[in-house]
Amino acid sequence: MCGRFVATAPPDQIARYFDAEPPEAALEPNWNVAPTHDVYAVLSDGSTRRVEALHWGLVPRWAKGPSVGSKMINARAETLAERNAYKAAYRKRRCLIPADGFYEWKAEPGQKRKQPYFIHRADGEPMAFAGLWEVWRDPATDGADRLHSCCIITGEPNEAVRPVHDRMPVMLPPETWDTWLDPANDDLDTLGRLLVPAHARLYDLYPVSTDVNSVRNRGPHLIERVETQGTLL
């Protein structure tokens, strides 16, 4: 599962990193991105990549209202081709969701509350979460009002994350981006082979303050290392 992550890079930097056109409007840096927040996503029309701000929480085209998106922040890699909420987007509307890192929580001996951990790339490079996106048209306005939304694909954890959680976001390396983003590519066997755990050696994690538990807290202190009496091993 991925329920909180960090996204602080400015849009022009994201656009350069992903070789994409920048978005029309900038989002504020956020060290505690939560479901229903707007997030950057990298999309492609088959020839040009672009960065857009999407609502985190996928709203399928057939949904009666946008509130269903709050329950669809993550999609399991193993069932993308089967679930009605995701299978159409899996074939045609895939994206990358840039992140500085993400949080997971673990029960620690002697602590009443779970201990949050910040998980990030050891080399400081951005993460590229595999994602899906959709466009929901409001039937109350005959489709004039539209909501562009997305979700993060999760899969099995690697050895670094497994002690903390049994799921993690699928993170795609640059050599897979063209294949993943191409809307003309509906080869589910090829796409499915991309949805594997990232190499554990690329990632680092450490305990952070329980301030991250509140979505009201969005500042940089949330990713500062704290001491804990627990252990991951």
The residues that are catalytic are 2, 104
Spatial distance between the Cα atoms of 51 and 53, rounded to a whole number of angstroms: 7
- Nearest Cα to Cα of residue 88 among 75, 106, 97: 75
- Nearest Cα to Cα of residue 85 among 55, 56, 54, 62: 62
Chain centroid to CA 171: 9
3-class secondary-structure state, position 121 = strand
Confirm if 22 and 11 have CB atoms less than 8 A apart.
Answer: yes
DSSP alpha helix (H) spans, 5-164: 11-17, 87-92
Question: Within a 10 A sphere around the Cβ of 197, how many other Cβ atoms?
Answer: 17
Confirm if 114 and 107 have CB atoms less than 8 A apart.
Answer: yes
3-class secondary-structure state, position 16 = helix
Spatial distance between the Cα atoms of 61 and 76, rounded to a whole number of angstroms: 19
